[in-house]
């Protein structure tokens, strides 16, 4: 017997990691209807993490980062075509080539794009790059091959730090400019970011924190250098703008959905809210573009630009798109990410910025092997390892079970005398990006609602 949820028409907008894994899961769960994937990039899905690592090191060609399929997917692929609108009343996705795709259910997986340099004339200089797509990586890798005299990296988040690492490994002089006090401070807090500062300097990076780039200078259309807010300047023939990502939601303007610069708001089951905070039942979202309430983080609306979240959320969204109400699942995965830079493997579970304290639980920074555990109001909320990945599952379990912070000693190399210190991050509520939809008191894993009388 065919249940209605397994038939009909599904359109997946976005054909990268989340869109691909969602399409595969839809078929795996028995969806037999028409399936269409729409992607604005002209190539099949590929993996982005290698672009700032193996590709910039020249070990892998940017065009060779295709993703393996989990299973065959019977679908129509519309690649190289941008979605321009969503008509929620007529249930149609509008495309740039004029086609309208009717749907019974739609998945939004349009992800993010690189935030461009704010001055268009300077951004157009030859030698100014962003890094998000395979084409970006191919162009940048070719220019690194040519042996630039100096590379300027603007922004010291994970992408910027990985770019700087690849350049140093190739022996190229690098200047990193970061407005914050330290590299990675936005992801790890100031205490752990002090480690990143020492790491970059030890590898010969000309690291300049607390400054902004006030102008990129050019001559004859080519980049020649940059000026900083502290009055200094450098000569550089390449500048990589690594100022984070912009969520691809503009195409949803006028759709009536809760979509904006902070992402597309959804419930714990990936169902998108309307602008009035009313949940839809035919529009779903997954991946970098989604904002969802997470029970481990006080149901704050969280948007995660993580590889693992794109996969996990796509699986939940696809499951819920073909499952009747009582069989639907919440997206409860503990956030996790990794970065390799300067020869080290940095991994994280939980949300380090959702913390007020941090403790060095194992290892020592001078050995470049450590576990830092983060807590918020006496509860463990995150852990970050440097070349200590085998410990992460242990801390993931402590996060999931709301274990007390600081963690009990027990690890073999626990160094006595380490005490929790402030993790030095902005107010954790900053993480919520000022939610337009707030859900509280709702425990999706128990499928019930708790009503607590006041007083």
Binding site for another protein (CB under 8 A): 20, 24, 43-47, 49-50, 53-54, 59-61, 64-70, 73, 75, 77, 79, 307-308, 311, 336-338, 340, 343-345, 347, 387-390, 392
Closest CA to 111 of 82, 87, 88: 82
**Prior bond to 406 cis, omega within 30?**
yes
Q: Which residue's entry shows tokens 């555990």?
A: 373
Q: Which residue reads 């295709």 in tokens? A: 66
Q: Which is nearer to another protein, 323 or 340 (CB)?
A: 340
Question: What is the chain's Cα-based Rg?
Answer: 23
Q: How far is the CB of 20 from another protein (least distance, A)?
A: 5
Q: Six-digit token pair at 14? A: 């976005």
- Shortest distance, CB of residue 44 to another protein, whole angstroms? 3
Nearer to another protein, 39 or 190 (CB): 39
128 in Cβ contact with 122 (< 8 Å): yes
Dihedral sign computed on CA atoms, order 86, 106, 305, 50: negative
**Whose Cβ is closer to another protein: residue 70's or residue 447's?**
70
| Shortest CB 315 distance to another protein, Å | 13
In the structure encoding, which two tokens stand for residue 354, read together? 């959702």
CB of 65 to another protein, least distance (A): 5
- Please, which residue, 4 or 66, has the CB nearer to another protein? 66
CB of 55 to another protein, least distance (A): 10
Which residues 6+ apart lie within 8 Å of 265 measured at CB? 258, 259, 272, 273, 291, 292, 301, 435, 436, 437
Three-class SS state of 35 = strand
- Closer CB to another protein, 55 or 114, in the complex: 55
**Nearer to another protein (CB atom), residue 61 or residue 430:** 61
Minimum distance of another protein from residue 137's CB (angstroms)? 12
* Residue 46 DSSP one-character state: B
Assess whether the previous peptide bond of 51 is cis (omega < 30° from 0). no
């Amino acid at each position: 017997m065919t249940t209605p949820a397994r038939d009909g028409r599904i359109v997946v907008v976005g054909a990268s990691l989340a869109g691909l894994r969602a399409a595969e899961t839809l078929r795996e769960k028995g969806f037999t209807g028409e399936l269409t994937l729409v992607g604005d990039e002209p190539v099949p899905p590929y993996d982005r993490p290698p672009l700032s690592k193996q590709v910039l090191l020249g070990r892998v060609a940017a065009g060779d980062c295709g993703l393996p399929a989990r299973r065959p997917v019977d679908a129509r692929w519309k690649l190289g075509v941008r979605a321009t609108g969503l008509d929620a009343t007529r249930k149609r996705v509008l495309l740039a080539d004029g086609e309208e795709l009717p749907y019974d259910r739609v998945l939004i997986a349009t992800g993010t794009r690189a935030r461009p340099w704010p001055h268009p004339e300077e951004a157009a200089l030859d030698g100014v790059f962003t890094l998000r797509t395979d084409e970006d990586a191919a162009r940048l890798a070719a220019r690194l091959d040519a042996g630039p005299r100096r590379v300027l990296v603007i922004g010291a988040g994970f992408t910027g730090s990985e770019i700087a690492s690849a350049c140093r490994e190739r022996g190229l002089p690098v200047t990193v400019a970061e407005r914050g006090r330290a590299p990675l401070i936005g992801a790890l807090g100031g205490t752990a970011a002090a480690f990143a500062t020492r790491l970059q300097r030890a590898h010969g990076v000309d690291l300049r924190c607390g400054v902004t780039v006030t102008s990129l200078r050019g001559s004859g259309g080519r980049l020649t250098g940059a000026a900083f807010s502290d009055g200094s300047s450098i000569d550089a023939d390449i500048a990589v703008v690594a100022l984070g990502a912009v969520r691809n939601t503009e195409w949803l303007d006028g759709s009536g959905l809760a979509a904006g610069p902070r992402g597309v708001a959804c419930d714990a089951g990936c169902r998108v809210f309307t602008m009035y905070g009313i949940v839809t039942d035919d529009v779903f979202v997954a991946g970098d573009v989604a904002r969802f309430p997470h029970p481990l983080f006080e149901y704050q609306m969280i948007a995660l630009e993580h590889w693992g979240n794109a996969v996990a959320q796509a699986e939940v969204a696809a499951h819920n798109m073909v499952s009747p109400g009582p069989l639907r699942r919440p997206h409860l995965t503990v956030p996790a990410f990794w970065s390799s830079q300067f020869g080290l493997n940095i991994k994280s579970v939980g949300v380090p910025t959702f913390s007020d304290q941090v403790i060095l639980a194992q290892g020592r920074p001078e050995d470049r092997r450590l576990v830092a555990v983060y807590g918020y109001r006496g509860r463990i909320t995150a852990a970050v390892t440097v070349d200590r990945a085998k410990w992460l599952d242990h801390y993931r379990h402590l996060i999931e079970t709301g274990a007390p912070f600081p963690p009990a000693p027990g690890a073999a190399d626990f160094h006595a005398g380490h005490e929790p210190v402030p993790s030095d991050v902005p107010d954790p509520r900053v993480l919520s990006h000022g939610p337009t939809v707030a859900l509280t008191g709702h425990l999706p894993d128990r499928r019930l609602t708790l009503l607590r009388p006041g007083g």
